[in-house]
Amino acid sequence: KTAMQIVEIMKVMEARHPVVMATRVSAEKSAEIQAALPQATYFEVARICAIQPSVPLAIRPGKLSILTAGTADLPVAEGAAVTAELCGFQVTRLWDVGVAGIHRLLSNRHVIDQSDVLIVAAGMEGALPSVVAGLADCPVVAVPTSVGYGASFNGLAPLLTMLNSCATGIG
């Protein structure tokens, strides 16, 4: 969509909904949107342009944590984090806690134990969601990303790893 198409859509939706989001928005497009809708906020890493209510939404119950295997997974994970926060959830972020440095994940075991839902983004081989699900007693949303090199096949390898996981609780 063009920036002006997004502006028109956001105007219509703003009249009906407290939160309006446009995803996969470039910084250039965001500047055009914000020129027309100064109340819009741009979340650069997540590539989300959003209109938020003037009064924050009530905080929803539950503890949501989002983890990434590596820093290359940040745009996808930050998109999930921003979306959840715009919907009223409190989010704990654990970035770069992949299996290549498992000590970083294990030193944050308390976050996993205290979470009601975990969203785990990973590229490369996509092993992190299985490891996390093996440690957690809550649902784990596995999110393959298309980052990586070698035989990751633009995200196909992590997707297949996640689909073939034998750990319980993965969706």
User: What confidence tens digit (pLDDT) does each residue in 68-123 have?
Assistant: 998 889 999 999 999 999 999 999 999 999 988 899 999 999 999 999 999 999 98
Q: Provide mean pLDDT across the span 52-62.
A: 88
Question: CA torsion 89→119→110→92, rounded to 10°?
Answer: -40
How many of the other CB atoms lie within 10 Å of CB of 5? Answer: 10
User: What confidence tens digit (pLDDT) does each residue in 2-30 have?
Assistant: 999 999 999 999 999 989 999 999 999 99
User: What confidence tens digit (pLDDT) does each residue in 116-151 have?
Assistant: 999 999 988 888 999 999 999 999 999 998 876 667
Q: Which residue, 117, 76, 118, 122, is CA-closest to 96?
A: 122
Q: Check if CATH label 3.40.50.720 holds for domain 64-164.
A: no
- 147 or 66: which leads in pLDDT: 66
pTM given for the model: 0.89
Tokens of 169: 């609780």
**What is the per-residue pLDDT for 120?**
96
Alpha-carbon span 21 to 28, nearest angstrom: 16
Cβ(140)–Cβ(129) below 8 Å: yes
Question: DSSP character for 49?
Answer: E
Report CA torsion sign: 23, 27, 29, 33.
positive
Q: For the chain, what are the domain ranges? A: 3-51, 64-164
Write the DSSP assignment of 70-115 as a string of letters: SGGGHHHHHHHHHHHHHTT--EEEE-S--GGGHHHHHTTHHHHHH-
